[in-house]
Amino acid sequence: MNIREFLPTQPVILGFDPGKDKCGLAVMGLDRQLHYHQVVLSSEAIASLEKLRQNYPISLMVMGDQTTSKRWKQQITEQVKEPLNIILVDERYTSLEARDRYWQMYPPKGLSKLLPQGMRQPPRPIDDIVAILLIERYLNRLTESSMRSD
């Protein structure tokens, strides 16, 4: 776990893409600055979450709302030491979006550059990028609702 030096002056949001075998974790500031992202085994997810909470001033957790979310939400609520506010976010199409984002973050090299983007498969799981997208969807929802109330 590579945790960068962080100034604990601003709250951050933890993105969590729950899964049966692996989970994506991401930590992003309200300024959309990405501080951390990683894919972890599901069996290590809660321990990783606790470690991140020791290193970042996490104000809330944004989690995908699909298949395993209810079970994960209950498990996190029961097992984390300090209560954590959990908000469910629409997770539809995030896997497709995450694949495109992967290639933006890590542009292809060599011969894979010649393949059309839709045919390229990321060389590693991208659950952490899904977690990033979940945070962004939450922040976009906040921005949209504050613009409507003005």
pLDDT tens-place string over residues 115-133:
887 788 899 999 999 999 9
pLDDT at 96 over 60: yes
pLDDT at 61 over 60: yes
d(CA 104, CA 93): 17
Cβ–Cβ < 8 Å for 42, 23: yes
Instruction: Kindly tell me the number of DSSP H helices and DSSP E strands found in the chain.
Output: 4, 5
Per-residue confidence band for 1, with pLDDT thresholds at 50, 70 and 90: very low
- Tallying the residues shown for the chain, one arrives at 150
Burial code (b: 16+ CB inside 10 Å, e: under 16) for 2-12 equals eeeeeeeeeeb
Query: 66: Cβ–Cβ under 8 A, 6 or more apart, which residues?
Result: 91, 92
d(CA 105, CA 86): 27
Per-residue confidence band for 148, with pLDDT thresholds at 50, 70 and 90: low
First to last CA, the chain: 41
Per-residue confidence band for 112, with pLDDT thresholds at 50, 70 and 90: confident
Tell me the pairing of strands 22-29 and 58-64: unpaired
Per-residue confidence band for 149, with pLDDT thresholds at 50, 70 and 90: low
